A and B are shown apart, each in its own frame.
Chain A
Amino acid sequence: MSVDLSQFHQVFYEESYEGLDAMEQGLLEMDVTAPDDEVINTIFRAAHSIKGGSGTFGFNQVANFTHVIETLLDEVRSGDRGLDQNTMDLLLESVDCMRGMLEELQAGGEPDMTTPDQLRAKFEAILSGESAGDAAGAGDGSAGGAGDGGAGDGADGGGEGGDGVGWLIEFIPEPQMLQTGNEATRMLRQLNEICEGKMAVTAHVDRVPGFHDLNPEHCYLYWHITVNFPLERTAIDEIFEWVVDDAEINISPLGQDVESAAAPSEAQEAQAPSETAQVVDIAQPQVEASAPAEAQAQAAPKKAPQESSSIRVDIDKVDNLINMVGELVITQSMLGELGENFDMAHVQRLQEGLAQLEHNTRELQESVMKIRMMPISFVFSRFPRLVRDTARKLDKQIELRMIGEHTELDKTVMEKLGDPMVHLIRNSMDHGIESPAERVANGKSETGLVELKAYHQSGNIVIEIEDDGAGLNTERILRKAKENGVVPQDANLSQEQIFDLIFQPGFSTADVVSDLSGRGVGMDVVRRNIAALNGSIEVFSEKDKGSRFVIRLPLTLAILDGQLVQVEDQIYIFPLVSIVESIQYKGSKLSNVGGHNDVLLLRDEYVPIVMLNQLFDIASQEKPLDDSIIVVVEADGEKVGVVVDELLGQQQVVIKSLEENYKKVDGISGATILGDGTVALIIDVSGMSKMSANHTPAQSKNVKPHKAA
């Protein structure tokens, strides 16, 4: 029977990544001066599992590499070796290395062995340099080794195969052999099989005591076996290998003297490596077969995306879900019964039933959403390492504090949050936190602080990234913006507007493009990514005190908090998160620009107006504009005032795809089904803005509006 091992690969990859995360976390937490045993064990087990699994599933390069690490960690956990900073750093590097190898394998390519080989050499040097215990033994006894450690050429003094004649075996178990679950009959049966029945067995009962002294759990019998078949000595050794210490086994070729019991054990030792060598060979072809095909197909094997398509769920959440469904079924059958023979006298029961249904449905919805929720620690866990490495690169002292790691959010949202957060943290570290010298000069502590906070607030999750660094330098930002022509030379911007500039594409105040950030591709992408999650990002900053970025995200992607609006006879929905404010049309300060569109003066800003009925080409019922409402929304940092007839309620809506059966429509991000069963379209604020810009002559903030007569 051949089992296709590739079906287990995905699970292996996932658990290996988890194991590597555990290793990394353990290593980062570890105090070199006083290592915690539990942590060491955890790290060892992670490496051990990866080695075992990779060997089993044919990923020999990973297995070979991991073997060295496992050996080292084994010495550490048994107390034969201490840990020093250098070793820990190497171990951390090897975690990255293994991750890389697994990703390459997962993407179907061959792992690049340059770094792994270099690291392995370093580990080997450490192991042999101050070898505690036999490093040689560690090398040979492994599956990954060349397997030539005393390859079983047969034991000395044993000779092979009895020269085609046979063997004489004395099998004398010790009384307690049975207690290890071993049974003589099994071994005899096996022997019988491999010698094709050509053997004669004599059982000796002379050791069996009298009935009263008989212990039924002991083995008193022993056997003399004559094998008349040309067997390999190793085959016989294999049969008895497990009981070598619990029995006297004398094997001699037919016609020769009985050997001492010492020889078999040596054959034992020699045999083990050859067995393992065999294992390596068998596993090898699998990898070879699958690799070339994939390697051809991909010029540059891409890193497999870290997004896994499975999710681990607490069994409590599943139980909860089952309970909710149970209650729903009860409510449904109750309503069904009511509906069978309904008459108006039961209308109150019907209403109660419907209220119950609403309650059940809401609970079920929450229950299901909770399943996709995972603690944000999954994404936070990358950061200690990131901060440590980056601080080192920048020659700065930075402490990372994380609060609210248990805060839960949707798995998909969390996966997409990773990159923006990395960018923001890097930013804080690079541009925010000053060098130790600067900090001291400014009366601050040498070590800068970057704080990550996560918490729930009115149906959203809020993530804050705060640093106690130099804060945003508004002068420099404004200057750079003027240099790049992003704002006109004479522009006079409020502090908020200046902060907002950092989100412009291509913007960067870094004089030298550093390796980390400063290429100016970051912040606009960050905001866009967050907007794609229906979220928002704000920045607060104070010179020399620090900066704080606040990200707000809905708890799930499929549900949106929406503001319903009426435009002519149609209902549209604005994402609540995009709305800045709503004001009455009447009494607003509107002006004409170039005779076409109106512009609204909102405090100090000029906000372009969009007539939604015109933009969406809805038949107008010619209502007086004065009764209209202007909903001021924001997208990509730009504000737009949208004229609607009426504000209807706010509610949570389930986002349905318009593209599934139709197509992507400009200005519309999706649809939803209202309580009355009708469809309402959800507005894509950013798209709508763009549409409006193209729909009418371009609006420019630079043009001075002149009031209509």
Chain B
Amino acid sequence: MAKILAVDDSASMRQMVSFTLKGAGHDVVEASDGVEAYKIAQGTSVDLVLSDVNMPNMNGIELCAKLRTLATYKFTPILMLTTESTGDKKMAGKTAGATGWIVKPFNPDQLLTTIKKVLG
């Protein structure tokens, strides 16, 4: 039973991720871009952050870097949801401090399997 922050500008993705995670018994907080997510993070800590990369206002990479500056988020697992599986985007994520990534498109089961890696 973990608390997960799900960030994606696509409502359908947010809904799918939220539904899947809640179905597995987790608590989900949603945000539609980096700015919203950062604001939420300042107010509460979570066990895992799932974030899309391409978002308006503040993208996933920027969000990741900003979250790492918060004391409560220094070691929180942050996974990037990305379709860009080529090398340099992953590097950008790692440099910003991301824990790992999930490649889009993914189905609900893959999502659950991957977060298990991180939540145990």
Contact = CB atoms under 8 A, between A and B. Distances in A.
B83 A282 contact: no
Given A189-B120, A282-B107, A181 B11 contact: no
A48 B78 contact: no
B105 A179 contact: no
A36 to B, nearest CB: 14
A276 B100 contact: no
Given A12-B12, A44-B54, A186-B120, A56 B105 contact: yes
A70 B53 CA distance: 14
Contacts of B94: 180, 245-246
Nearest to B10: A49
B9 interface: yes
Given A53-B12, A56-B13, 11 more contacts: A2-B109, A15-B11, A41-B56, A52-B13, A56-B107, A137-B86, A142-B83, A179-B97, A181-B78, A186-B120, A275-B103
B77 A53 contact: no
Given A56-B16, A245-B94, A279-B107, A182 B99 contact: yes
Interface size for chain A: under 10, 10 to 19, 20 to 34, or 35 or more residues? 35 or more
Nearest to A1: B23
B75 A181 contact: yes
B98 to A, nearest CB: 6
Contacts of B109: 1-2
Contacts of B78: 180-181
B74 A179 contact: yes
Interface in B43-90: 52, 54-56, 68, 74-78, 83-87
Contacts of A15: 10-12
A34 interface: no
A15 B8 CA distance: 13
A63 B106 CA distance: 13
B74 A279 contact: no
A45 B73 CA distance: 27
A45 B98 contact: no
A131 interface: no
Interface string A1-13: 1110101110110
Nearest to A217: B74
Contacts of A143: 83, 103-105
Interface size for chain B: under 10, 10 to 19, 20 to 34, or 35 or more residues? 35 or more
Contact of B24 (A1, A190, A241): A1
A539 interface: no
A272 interface: yes
Given A181-B78, A282-B107, A11 B11 contact: yes
Interface of B: 9-13, 15-16, 19-20, 23-24, 52, 54-56, 68, 74-78, 83-87, 91, 94, 97-101, 103-110, 112, 117-118, 120
A45 B52 CA distance: 11
**Chain A contact residues: over half helix, strand or loop, or mixed?**
helix
A180 B12 contact: no
A329 B57 CA distance: 41
Contact of B103 (A2, A8, A190, A276): A276
A283 interface: yes
11 contacts: A2-B108, A3-B16, A52-B105, A56-B105, A57-B16, A182-B100, A186-B120, A189-B120, A242-B100, A242-B101, A245-B94
Nearest to A246: B94
A279 B68 contact: no
Contact of A8 (B16, B83, B85, B91): B16
B54 A279 contact: no
Contacts of B117: 186, 190, 239
Contacts of A276: 85, 103
Contact of A178 (B13, B75, B118): B75
A48 B105 CA distance: 11
B99 A242 contact: yes
A282 B105 CA distance: 10
A546 interface: no
A140 to B, nearest CB: 9
A370 interface: no
A51 interface: yes
A535 interface: no
Interface in A7-46: 7-9, 11-12, 15, 41-42, 44-45
Given A1-B24, A5-B108, A180-B99, A52 B10 contact: yes
Interface string A170-202: 000000001111100010011000000000000
Nearest to A179: B97
A63 B87 CA distance: 21
A55 interface: yes
A141 interface: yes
